[in-house]
Protein backbone atom coordinates (compact mmCIF):
# COMPACT_ATOMS: atom_id res chain seq x y z
CA UNK A 1 0.00 0.00 0.00
CA UNK A 2 1.02 3.60 -0.66
CA UNK A 3 2.98 4.57 2.49
CA UNK A 4 1.64 8.13 2.28
CA UNK A 5 -1.87 6.99 3.19
CA UNK A 6 -2.58 7.85 6.83
CA UNK A 7 -5.66 7.43 8.98
CA UNK A 8 -7.76 10.56 9.58
CA UNK A 9 -9.33 11.01 13.02
CA UNK A 10 -13.06 10.36 12.72
CA UNK A 11 -13.95 13.71 14.31
CA UNK A 12 -12.09 15.45 11.47
CA UNK A 13 -13.40 13.26 8.66
CA UNK A 14 -16.04 15.85 7.75
CA UNK A 15 -13.21 18.15 6.63
CA UNK A 16 -12.48 15.85 3.72
CA UNK A 17 -15.84 16.81 2.17
CA UNK A 18 -16.52 20.20 3.74
CA UNK A 19 -15.23 22.19 0.76
CA UNK A 20 -17.62 20.44 -1.63
CA UNK A 21 -15.46 18.29 -3.91
CA UNK A 22 -16.80 15.93 -6.54
CA UNK A 23 -16.27 12.38 -5.25
CA UNK A 24 -15.86 8.85 -6.52
CA UNK A 25 -18.32 6.33 -5.04
CA UNK A 26 -17.11 2.73 -4.93
CA UNK A 27 -18.78 -0.46 -3.75
CA UNK A 28 -18.63 -4.20 -4.30
CA UNK A 29 -20.86 -7.23 -3.81
CA UNK A 30 -20.76 -10.84 -4.91
CA UNK A 31 -17.39 -10.42 -6.60
CA UNK A 32 -18.45 -7.38 -8.62
CA UNK A 33 -16.83 -4.00 -7.92
CA UNK A 34 -17.71 -0.66 -9.43
CA UNK A 35 -16.94 3.04 -9.13
CA UNK A 36 -18.93 6.08 -10.26
CA UNK A 37 -18.29 9.78 -9.89
CA UNK A 38 -20.83 11.96 -8.08
CA UNK A 39 -21.00 15.70 -7.61
CA UNK A 40 -23.87 15.39 -5.13
CA UNK A 41 -22.19 14.18 -1.96
CA UNK A 42 -22.14 16.12 1.29
CA UNK A 43 -21.23 15.92 4.96
CA UNK A 44 -24.26 15.38 7.22
CA UNK A 45 -22.88 15.18 10.78
CA UNK A 46 -19.68 15.55 12.83
CA UNK A 47 -19.74 12.77 15.42
CA UNK A 48 -20.32 10.11 14.51
CA UNK A 49 -19.57 11.48 11.05
CA UNK A 50 -22.25 10.91 8.46
CA UNK A 51 -22.55 11.71 4.77
CA UNK A 52 -25.21 11.91 2.07
CA UNK A 53 -24.79 10.92 -1.56
CA UNK A 54 -27.26 10.85 -4.44
CA UNK A 55 -27.20 7.59 -6.45
CA UNK A 56 -29.47 7.44 -9.47
CA UNK A 57 -31.56 4.29 -9.99
CA UNK A 58 -29.83 3.73 -13.35
CA UNK A 59 -26.39 3.28 -11.79
CA UNK A 60 -24.80 -0.12 -11.25
CA UNK A 61 -23.00 1.21 -8.17
CA UNK A 62 -26.29 1.93 -6.41
CA UNK A 63 -27.25 -1.73 -6.59
CA UNK A 64 -23.89 -2.76 -5.08
CA UNK A 65 -24.41 -0.27 -2.23
CA UNK A 66 -27.90 -1.60 -1.54
CA UNK A 67 -26.80 -5.23 -1.66
CA UNK A 68 -23.60 -4.88 0.40
CA UNK A 69 -24.63 -2.10 2.80
CA UNK A 70 -21.28 -0.36 2.30
CA UNK A 71 -19.72 2.30 0.10
CA UNK A 72 -16.57 4.39 -0.06
CA UNK A 73 -16.47 8.09 -0.93
CA UNK A 74 -13.08 9.14 -2.24
CA UNK A 75 -11.87 12.62 -3.10
CA UNK A 76 -10.23 12.58 -6.53
CA UNK A 77 -7.73 15.15 -7.76
CA UNK A 78 -6.60 16.94 -10.91
CA UNK A 79 -4.26 14.03 -11.63
CA UNK A 80 -7.42 11.89 -11.92
CA UNK A 81 -9.37 14.30 -14.13
CA UNK A 82 -9.94 11.95 -17.06
CA UNK A 83 -10.57 8.99 -14.75
CA UNK A 84 -13.16 10.98 -12.79
CA UNK A 85 -14.96 12.08 -15.94
CA UNK A 86 -14.96 8.60 -17.47
CA UNK A 87 -16.23 6.94 -14.30
CA UNK A 88 -19.18 9.33 -14.38
CA UNK A 89 -20.01 8.86 -18.05
CA UNK A 90 -19.78 5.11 -18.60
CA UNK A 91 -21.78 2.35 -16.98
CA UNK A 92 -20.72 -1.13 -15.95
CA UNK A 93 -23.96 -2.48 -17.44
CA UNK A 94 -22.82 -1.55 -20.94
CA UNK A 95 -19.04 -1.63 -20.44
CA UNK A 96 -18.02 -4.59 -18.29
CA UNK A 97 -14.39 -3.35 -18.40
CA UNK A 98 -15.36 0.19 -17.43
CA UNK A 99 -12.83 0.35 -14.59
CA UNK A 100 -9.90 -0.86 -16.70
CA UNK A 101 -10.77 1.54 -19.53
CA UNK A 102 -10.86 4.45 -17.10
CA UNK A 103 -7.55 3.38 -15.56
CA UNK A 104 -9.09 2.84 -12.11
CA UNK A 105 -7.06 0.47 -9.92
CA UNK A 106 -8.69 -0.73 -6.71
CA UNK A 107 -7.25 -1.75 -3.34
CA UNK A 108 -8.67 -2.77 0.03
CA UNK A 109 -8.02 -1.74 3.63
CA UNK A 110 -7.77 -4.36 6.36
CA UNK A 111 -11.13 -5.21 7.85
CA UNK A 112 -13.26 -3.83 5.04
CA UNK A 113 -14.67 -5.40 1.89
CA UNK A 114 -15.54 -2.22 -0.01
CA UNK A 115 -12.87 -1.30 -2.58
CA UNK A 116 -10.90 1.95 -2.71
CA UNK A 117 -9.53 3.76 -5.79
CA UNK A 118 -5.76 4.19 -5.96
CA UNK A 119 -4.31 7.64 -6.43
CA UNK A 120 -7.15 9.53 -4.76
CA UNK A 121 -6.52 12.17 -2.10
CA UNK A 122 -8.81 10.82 0.64
CA UNK A 123 -11.19 7.95 1.38
CA UNK A 124 -14.24 7.68 3.67
CA UNK A 125 -15.41 4.14 4.46
CA UNK A 126 -19.19 4.31 4.97
CA UNK A 127 -21.75 1.89 6.37
CA UNK A 128 -25.15 2.46 4.75
CA UNK A 129 -27.85 3.64 7.15
CA UNK A 130 -30.92 2.18 5.44
CA UNK A 131 -33.58 4.83 4.80
CA UNK A 132 -35.88 3.26 2.20
CA UNK A 133 -38.10 6.34 1.80
CA UNK A 134 -35.14 8.61 1.01
CA UNK A 135 -33.58 6.04 -1.27
CA UNK A 136 -36.76 5.44 -3.27
CA UNK A 137 -38.18 8.95 -3.35
CA UNK A 138 -35.03 11.05 -3.65
CA UNK A 139 -32.21 8.60 -4.63
CA UNK A 140 -30.64 9.90 -1.41
CA UNK A 141 -28.35 7.59 0.56
CA UNK A 142 -27.03 8.19 4.07
CA UNK A 143 -23.88 6.57 5.43
CA UNK A 144 -21.97 6.58 8.68
CA UNK A 145 -18.24 7.09 8.24
CA UNK A 146 -16.52 4.35 10.23
CA UNK A 147 -12.94 4.96 9.01
CA UNK A 148 -11.16 7.58 6.93
CA UNK A 149 -7.75 7.99 5.35
CA UNK A 150 -5.92 10.63 3.36
CA UNK A 151 -2.69 10.96 1.41
CA UNK A 152 -0.46 13.03 3.65
CA UNK A 153 0.99 14.82 0.64
CA UNK A 154 -2.27 16.80 0.41
CA UNK A 155 -4.07 16.36 3.78
CA UNK A 156 -2.21 16.29 7.10
CA UNK A 157 -2.59 17.61 10.64
CA UNK A 158 -6.33 17.64 10.07
CA UNK A 159 -6.15 20.13 7.17
CA UNK A 160 -6.02 20.18 3.40
CA UNK A 161 -2.64 21.40 2.17
CA UNK A 162 -3.62 22.39 -1.37
CA UNK A 163 -1.52 25.55 -1.35
CA UNK A 164 1.62 23.57 -0.36
CA UNK A 165 1.15 20.52 -2.60
CA UNK A 166 1.77 19.91 -6.28
CA UNK A 167 -1.18 21.31 -8.31
CA UNK A 168 -2.07 17.78 -9.42
CA UNK A 169 -3.44 17.20 -5.89
CA UNK A 170 -6.14 19.88 -6.10
CA UNK A 171 -9.67 18.60 -5.66
CA UNK A 172 -12.14 18.63 -8.56
CA UNK A 173 -15.48 20.47 -8.52
CA UNK A 174 -17.74 19.48 -11.40
CA UNK A 175 -19.98 21.88 -13.28
CA UNK A 176 -21.30 20.18 -16.44
CA UNK A 177 -20.22 18.92 -19.87
CA UNK A 178 -16.69 17.85 -18.89
CA UNK A 179 -15.98 21.18 -17.19
CA UNK A 180 -14.58 21.05 -13.68
CA UNK A 181 -12.93 23.68 -11.53
CA UNK A 182 -9.93 22.81 -9.39
CA UNK A 183 -10.00 24.15 -5.84
CA UNK A 184 -8.09 27.43 -5.59
CA UNK A 185 -6.24 29.55 -3.09
CA UNK A 186 -6.91 30.03 0.64
CA UNK A 187 -9.24 32.80 1.77
CA UNK A 188 -8.67 33.29 5.48
CA UNK A 189 -10.75 35.44 7.81
CA UNK A 190 -8.75 37.84 9.97
CA UNK A 191 -10.18 37.38 13.45
Please report, as ranges, the residues that interact with a copy of itself according to CB under 8 A. Answer: 15, 18-22, 39-45, 50, 52, 54, 78, 81-82, 85, 133-134, 138-140, 142, 158-160, 162, 170, 172-176, 178-191
Q: C-alpha angle with apex 185: 151 to 119, nearest 5 degrees?
A: 25
Task: Give 171's DSSP letter.
Answer: B
**Distance in Å, CB of 121 to a copy of itself, minimum:** 14
Least Cα distance to 145 among 71, 35, 66, 77 occurs for 71
Q: Give the helix ranges, DSSP H, for 24-80.
A: 60-68
Least Cα distance to 53 among 70, 38, 68 occurs for 38
**Distance in Å, CB of 84 to a copy of itself, minimum:** 8
Residue 48, preceding bond cis, omega within 30 degrees?
Answer: yes
Nearer to a copy of itself, 113 or 144 (CB): 144
**Distance in Å, CB of 163 to a copy of itself, minimum:** 8
**Distance in Å, CB of 158 to a copy of itself, minimum:** 8
Task: Give 77's DSSP letter.
Answer: B
Nearer to a copy of itself, 64 or 183 (CB): 183
Nearer to a copy of itself, 30 or 186 (CB): 186
Amino acid sequence: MNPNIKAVELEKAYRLLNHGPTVLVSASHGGVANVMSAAWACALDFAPPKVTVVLDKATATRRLVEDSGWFVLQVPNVGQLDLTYQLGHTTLTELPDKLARAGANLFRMDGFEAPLVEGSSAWLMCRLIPEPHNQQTYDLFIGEVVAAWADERVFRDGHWQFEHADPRWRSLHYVAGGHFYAIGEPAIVKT
